[in-house]
Amino acid sequence: MMTGNMRDLMGAAAVCWTLGLGVAQAEDGISASSNGLEFEAGAVHATLGGRLHLDSASIDNGGTDIEDEEVRRARLELAVRFGDHWRLRVDREFTHDGAWRNVWLGYAGEDFNIKAGNFIAPFSMEDVGSSNDTMFMERSLVQALAPGFGVGVGGAYEGRHFSIAGGYFGDAIDVEDNIQPEKGSGVTLRATWSPVERRSNTFHVGLGLERREFDAGDMRRISTGPEASLAPTILSTGSIADPDTSMSYNLEAAYSVGPVLLQGQFVSSELERGVGADLSFDGYYAQAGWIITGERHEYGDATGVFRGPRPRHDWGALELAARYSSLDLSEAGAPNSGEADDVTAGVNWYIGRNFRLAANYVHSEVDAINPLLDRDVDTVQARAQVDF
């Protein structure tokens, strides 16, 4: 039987092989660029891209040492445009037994779009942003409270210095990293405003709302690792029985001035239960990045997120970053619930538009409901990343 690591490696090889195949067949109408493989025939334009993230980590989990490596992501991404308005997106992840990510059909107007399928519910700035552009190797502890992917129908409108997006979502097609697949069904909404949006500086604020309902017999579970995919789970609510409805709120803000980007979020989730006490969970983070070579993070006002820089030098761009994040799941009362606080330091080396080398140090302090589970977790991790 093929092992999980072998499947991951074969998936990674498939990504690289496909890119190479496109270059070899450029004379047959398929061209290769930094965007991936592109094919155009009449009103149809297709792009096949992907991402490959290779991770290694050394972890001290309260005195227990872990040395490991993995293919964190090996993904193929197909984007097709039919004429001026219709769009199709299909993403296939090959790691961790494989999974579907974006799978949707949409219609794009001049300043609006609608789509149906499996895509990220618009709620959190950190969640909506691509894993290729995150300032750190992993998203913050707050990600445990984000909805992630879901099957639904949604739309977005982009105005001058603002955007609004929303939709109705159910469970995702496949399981995601540290996010329970059963999240109930309901409405998600995110609005952003960038009153200052200049080349030299940008100020962004946003608000996210989400209301979900659960069926009889559903269970709710929230868990997180210490901002390191190779590390074990540090907090978990356990299985929460009889959830009725949940209401979540997200407040976000970011300010970019020259090569410095400051960003933070606060997320709160309230769970009402048919039987038992209602529960409340919350978390926040604040982070800063400084691109010491002078580039700046690009702002996408249509989605209200910052992307990675465009290196101005042949040898690339270098960034230093720091983050503090906190997550409180203590009201669950489970032995492994409680509160975690993380301090992360990172460095990113952007080599052209498609390559990045990253290294992070994460110190996590776990204050569990069961004092015997209290511990400090220290992680040193590195990533080699290519996206196209």
Radius of gyration, alpha carbons of the chain: 21
Rounded alpha-carbon distances, angstroms, from residue 304 to 91, 126, 256: 22, 10, 13
Cβ-contact 359, 382 below 8 angstroms: yes
The predicted model scores a pTM of 0.91
With a cut of 80, say whether residue 9 has pLDDT above it: no
DSSP structure string for 223-255: EE-SS-TTSPP-EE--PEE-EEEEEEEEEEEEE
Residue 165's pLDDT is 98
Mean pLDDT of 114-132: 97
Q: Which domains does the chain have, with CATH numbers?
A: 51-76+115-387 (2.40.160.10)
d(Cα 211, Cα 84) in Å, to the nearest integer? Answer: 34
Model confidence over 131-142: pLDDT tens digits?
999 999 999 999
Residue-wise pLDDT for 316-372, tens only, equals 999 999 999 999 999 999 999 999 999 999 999 999 989 999 999 999 999 999 999
Give the span between the Cα atoms of 228 and 346, in whole angstroms. 12
Q: Rounded to an integer, what distance in angstroms lies between the CA atom of residue 43 and that of residue 28?
A: 18
Per residue in 258-312, pLDDT (tens digit) is 999 999 999 999 999 999 999 999 999 999 999 999 999 999 988 999 999 999 9
C-alpha–C-alpha distance, residues 193 and 266, integer Å: 17
DSSP H or E segment with residue 100? strand 99-108
Across the chain, mean pLDDT equals 92
DSSP bridge pairs for 241: 219
pLDDT tens sequence across 50-90: 999 999 999 999 999 999 999 999 999 999 999 999 999 99
Token pair recorded at residue 174: 């496949």
Q: How confident is the model at residue 12 (pLDDT cuts 50, 70, 90)?
A: low
> Can you tell me the distance from the alpha carbon of 16 to that of 162, in angstroms, rounded to the nearest whole number?
38
In the three-class reduction of DSSP (H, G, I as helix; E, B as strand; rest coil), residue 201 is classed as: strand
User: For residue 332, what is the DSSP state?
Assistant: G
